[in-house]
Structure 1
Amino acid sequence: MNFGLFGNNNRIANLVITDTAIRYADLKMGSPLIVQNYGEKLLPQGVIADGKIIEYDTLAMILEECIYDWGIKKRQVRFIVPSTSIIVKRVLVPADIAEDELKGYLFMEIGTSIHLPFEDPLFDVVKLGEKEDKQEILLVASPEEVIHSYRDILDEVKLKPVAADISPLALYRFFYHNDMVKSSDHEMILQFDEKLLTISIFHRNQPIFLRPISFQGDVDLPDSSPDLDRGGIFYLEDTFKEIEKVFSFYKYSLNKGEVNVNNVILTGDHPYLNEIYQSLSERLSAAVHRAPQDSMLDAKGQSVPGYYDLAVGLALKEVL
């Protein structure tokens, strides 16, 4: 999703900035794809909260350290917009609105017939098809101030932001490249990070649903449970129930009971992802999958940690 920022330099660096970490990946294009360079810097608690930059100067200083360590001085960069600031909304528009006029039409309607929970949105549009003699579109919007806060801090440290994306699209791109998704399926992607779950659903290679769920409060993760009772993730019980509710909502509210999610892909950097995988495999009616360990290799042929899939999917933005 390009939010008015463009660029086509093949040496674009790809940054994922979350509440807990900054990650970077740089691809060598070819077949197979090689993760040429990658890196991670953990963030102190409170620098970013729910996707909002709280300690601007601290984040700028850490970014400058990353730029030096990763050798990306003055590079063009793509970045991920925080899922907590994204709204996805199905909208019906008149059938006679041409595709190249959709954004102009929506710009006029936002705030009148189309209501968003924030002012001054930046948005993109996905055309879904026809419904009730109208066009059905998916409106993907984020507050301008959130996107500009990330753009501005990247400018501050002498990087050149050229494109923004959202994590579900970047992840879907990665899974598509690895033949883990099918256009005909109803795919749910569960991005389980330490502080945030992002639920998204795709059909016909298009995003249909997106919902972020922040884990409330400061959760002290327990030590890994030596047995199989998965007690270490007891605090996620309500989150698991929310996932099951999304299954029902998608089937009955969005699709009148005619279709259901039939494939689930689990990803993220949560330290208990293995236990989460086991629990969801038992609870959900659809098969739950994870990306193969060898789906990303570095220049030396070594496996790259799975939580870099988001940065790699971002790097594929102008390729697929």
Structure 2
Amino acid sequence: MTWHLWRRRAVGIEFTRTGCRCVAVRFSSRGPEVLGAIEGELADGNELQATDAFVGQLRDFSRRHRLRNCRVVIGVPSERVTVRLLKMPPLPDRALRQAVALELGETIHLPFDDPVFDVVRVPQLVADDPGDEVPVCLVAAPRGYVQWALQVVRSAGLRPRAVDLAPLARLRAAGPDAWQAAGVRVLLQLDDADTTISVVAGGALYFLRTVENLSNGVDEGTVVDGRLADVAYEVDRVIKFFQFNLAGRELPVDGVWLAGLLSDEAAAAARLSGLLGLPVQPLPAEVVWRRGAAVNHSAAYATAVGLALKGGFP
């Protein structure tokens, strides 16, 4: 019988600056297994337009792996997301969201108009922090972009169930040890066009910054010292801003997780560690690729895998 197979499968679709990556994941007693993956480019680079060819590719992928009724989770590019750590009164969820909505455009300013947003409660990083306010994260993205991404997926006959953040998805793909790790860490995602720096603790995202590459491009497997120096400079700025402007004190940072380009280069990790004075270690994805489904550079699909894992096992 095959009617129930869709219940054990999920789809992660990561939109990037210039393209899209999609994976189909099957859940079993042995853990998540990637059945297949595809990658497509978006028309006109980062313009809000998808090629008919990519939508057709996604539709064929869905048909081949029987994904039509599966849970689908979409990832929005980090450069289109704003994350703000706020201190708010301890209100019920609905009242908290209403209070934040009232502040948008007044005391909370975003780099885009007409946002779609969510308010997420996060753990208090400073146990003895005085005051009655509690920390929450405002997560916002342009409504037009989110609606466009949803429409692209729906055009392929799939049903999006949730939208998630790329750094959280990448952390989720690394397994429970990384997701549940205590202490403050920096998640560093190096890609061809940009670098995303996230501050995470206990599976929660506290700060997010994406910067375009300042140095020349990096070929995979090649350590470019100039780019690593630029990255270290930006990471140090993010850590200081987080500690003194958001946390209000110099909280210790336990280390840096390195993902994306150069994550398998020991020399790159060692160089960054020396520049930052912090331990730097790669963040591998804990997922099995089905025989015959492996693709070149499978590590590039780790964020899409983490999207598919949102919500846990069916």
TM-score by length of 1: 0.79
- Report the number of matched residues: 297
Q: Cα 1:75–1:302, aligned 2, differ >3 Å: closer, same or farther?
A: closer
Deviation at 1:182, TM superposition (A): 4.5
Structure 1 unmatched runs, 5+: 1-7
Question: Is the CA contact 2:137–2:206 (under 8 Å) kept in the aligned structure 1?
Answer: yes
Q: Secondary structure at the match of 1:12?
A: strand
Tell me, yes or no, if structure 1 residue 114 matches structure 2 residue 105. no
Q: Cα 1:68–1:182, aligned 2, differ >3 Å: closer, same or farther?
A: closer
Deviation at 1:116, TM superposition (A): 1.9
Deviation at 1:260, TM superposition (A): 2.2
Question: Is the CA contact 1:16–1:311 (under 8 Å) kept in the aligned structure 2?
Answer: yes
Deviation at 1:301, TM superposition (A): 10
Residue among 284, 289, 308 paired with 1:298? 289
Deviation at 1:222, TM superposition (A): 5.8
Q: Cα 1:316–1:108, aligned 2, differ >3 Å: closer, same or farther?
A: same
Partner of 1:83: 78
Question: Is the CA contact 2:15–2:75 (under 8 Å) kept in the aligned structure 1?
Answer: yes
Question: Is the CA contact 1:19–1:47 (under 8 Å) kept in the aligned structure 2?
Answer: no
Q: Secondary structure at the match of 1:180?
A: helix
Q: Secondary structure at the match of 1:172?
A: helix
Q: Cα 1:31–1:187, aligned 2, differ >3 Å: closer, same or farther?
A: farther
State the one-letter code of the partner of 1:47.
Answer: D
| Structure with greater contact order relative to length (CA < 8 Å, sep ≥ 6) | 2
Aligned-residue RMSD, C-alpha: 3.1
Tell me, yes or no, if structure 1 residue 311 matches structure 2 residue 308. no
Partner of 1:254: 246
TM-score by length of 2: 0.81
Deviation at 1:247, TM superposition (A): 2.4
Q: Deviations over 1:272-302 (max 9, x none)?
A: 8625434213222221111358x32223499
Partner of 2:44: 47
Q: Cα 1:156–1:213, aligned 2, differ >3 Å: closer, same or farther?
A: same
Q: Cα 1:14–1:182, aligned 2, differ >3 Å: closer, same or farther?
A: closer
Structure 2 unmatched runs, 5+: 1-5
Partner of 2:3: none
Identical columns (%) = 25
What CA distance in whole angstroms lies between the structure 2 residues aligned with 1:213 and 1:69? 32
What CA distance in whole angstroms lies between the structure 1 residues aligned with 2:304 and 2:50? 24
Q: Deviations over 1:120-153 (max 9, x none)?
A: 2111112235763223311111111111111122
Partner of 1:150: 149
